[in-house]
Amino acid sequence: MKKIAVIGQGYVGLPLAIAFSKHFPVVGYDINEKRIEELEQGKDSTKEVEGEQLKTALSEYKISEGVKGYFPSADLDSLTQADIYIITVPTPINEFNAPDLTPLKQASKLIASVLKKGDIVIYESTVYPGCTEEECIPVIEQYSQLKLNEDFFAGYSPERINPGDKINTLETIVKVTSGSTPEVAVKIDNLYKKIIKAGTHLAPSLKVAEAAKVIENAQRDVNISFVNELALIFDRIGIDTHEVLEAAGTKFNFLKFKPGLVGGHCISVDPYYLAHKAIQLGYYPDVILSGRRVNDEIPLFIANKVVKLMIQKRIDVSRSRVLLLGFSFKENCPDTRNTKVAKIYKELSSYGIEVDVYDPWVNPVEVKEEYGIEIITEIDRLKQHRYLRTDHRYGLTASPYSGVLLMTAHQEFKNLDIRSLVNEPGIVFDAKSVLKKGIADDRL
């Protein structure tokens, strides 16, 4: 019986571990002890795995005595019995938009300390083509004193998790697989076939599998950047971008992308990994990086657009309060990694505007630690902020909001009377373009 260890129990690692736990004994390892304690209690703050599903996986491990089921752990000793290690740690970028491989190398070093002859190490973290063999394997070989394809084997199977999506889940998306030898590639492919109902695609090499993943998100980034640039142009012309896209979309082969904020851990990050490798090889990727520049402009464009709208309504910007609805980078999801709402918050604040943020999905403690921003998570507290909060500039009763910006289209906002939150003259801006016509003064 194979025993699997999944390193990293976040948005990618936990669903993967739970899926495999239906067939094998799985250790879900994470260095975050608080995260492990949460999982031991059958709770998942990422909301990627239902509580009952998690509790069932936990109980199966105990009942089956290690034949199958899920065991979360922050103890390195719990990994010693595994023979397949799957690494699902983050691959962020630094302040210079260069790949930060620190978590990946640390995970590789950790695995090296418990690796045995015949074991298989599979990477799922998004990287540039060649990274696994050039950066990760050497770390394992150095600290384990084992040689690739002689003592141990490697694979790469890129994650395709879409946070918050309950339709396109791990099991329903085709999985790309690969291995360091033809024989181990087949073994890895057969392993994933156990859990992936949609089937697998066996790539001819690790580099091909790595490249396939990184271009998935780079392609979306470039496509979104095109319509975002259209939004910048049409705003100057004075026409509605969505009305233009609706008209153009009547042609059979028109690609229906929409303008928007591009945040999160994938689409706004992965293109930099591919660009990094291209520049290493002496090629400057103009299209990829120009798309990144356009998408990075959108938060400032939105903030400045809102300020202009307020000025047009003769609102005293420096004495105003604005409400941002939503902070996570996408709807119905608590994921705040690389959220662009933080940039809008900062830009609006630079004008002297007092900014409140309401998001019932996110963890306010984590947002405070990461971004230094206070989050309102309950509707009653939102109302309290609006009407009863003391403000030294206005006396005992705070002024109502001069503007409300819909940042994230959470389901809770569908029935929210957004216009009622604004004191006239005030503005509503729809960054998601989901509000009915007449509610918003403008949209992206």
Q: Residues 49-106: pLDDT tens digits?
A: 999 999 999 998 878 777 899 999 999 999 999 999 999 999 999 999 999 999 999 9
pLDDT at 393: 45
Residues 195, 192: Cα–Cα separation, whole Å = 6
Q: Domain check: are 196 and 303 in the same one?
A: no
Q: Is residue 218 part of a domain?
A: no
Establish if 228 belongs to a structural domain: no
The number of folded domains in the chain is 2
Last residue of a domain, one of 184, 204, 224: 204
For 266-303, write each residue's pLDDT tens digit.
999 999 999 999 999 999 999 999 999 999 999 999 99
303, 193: one domain: no
pTM above 0.85, yes or no: yes
Spell out the alpha helix ranges (H) of 238-285: 241-248, 270-280
Pair (78, 180) in one structural domain: yes
Is the domain of 168 the same as that of 310?
no
Best CA proximity match to 412, nearest among 379, 366, 371: 379
Cα of first residue to Cα of last residue in the chain, in angstroms, is 54
Q: Which residues of the chain have pLDDT under 70?
A: 1, 380, 383-399
Please say which residue of 174, 204, 234 terminates a domain. Answer: 204
Q: For residues 83 and 200, state if they share a domain.
A: yes
Amino acid at 193: K
Distance CA 124, CA 171 (A): 15
Task: Tell which of 147, 171, 204 closes a domain.
Answer: 204
> Running DSSP on this structure, what letter comes out for residue 41?
T
Q: Do 306 and 187 belong to one domain?
A: no
DSSP state of 136: I
pLDDT attached to residue 98: 95
pLDDT at 2: 85
Q: Does residue 271 fall inside a structural domain?
A: no
Residue 259 lies in a domain: no
Using CA of residue 329, residue 288, residue 214, residue 229, what is the dihedral sign? positive
Options 131, 136, 266, 333, the catalytic residue:
266
- Name residue 67's amino acid: V
> Does residue 317 share a domain with residue 198?
no
Residue 266 annotated among the catalytic residues of the structure: yes
Domain-embedded: residue 223? no
Cβ pair 327, 260 in contact under 8 A: no
Max Cα distance, the chain (Å): 75
Q: Among all chains, which residue has been given the structure tokens 């780079």?
A: 218
Residues of the domain holding 111: 4-204
Give the CATH number of the domain where residue 347 resides. 3.40.50.720
